[in-house]
Amino acid sequence: LSALGTAAAHRVLESGAPEALEPMTPFERKIVHDAVAAVEGVSSESEGVEPNRHVVVVPA
């Protein structure tokens, strides 16, 4: 999950476009948010309603 978040963050840095990931549990989203937070120039937010809540990685 950390690798997924890091890879998505780098894709968003290159493209400049937000990227929505697949729905995840709260625990899984936390791991992805932490991985994205370690990458300069992007941030992440959760959107949707359980069980379809998902992470969206956006340019900072």
Please tell me whether the overall predicted TM-score, pTM, comes out greater than 0.75 for this model: yes
Per-residue pLDDT in tens (0 to 9) along the chain, 60 residues: 999 999 999 999 999 999 999 999 999 999 999 999 999 999 999 999 999 999 999 999
The three-class DSSP label of residue 30 is helix
* Half-sphere exposure at residue 41, Cβ-oriented, CA atoms within 13 angstroms: 11
**Strand partners for 55:** 46
pLDDT reported for residue 7: 98
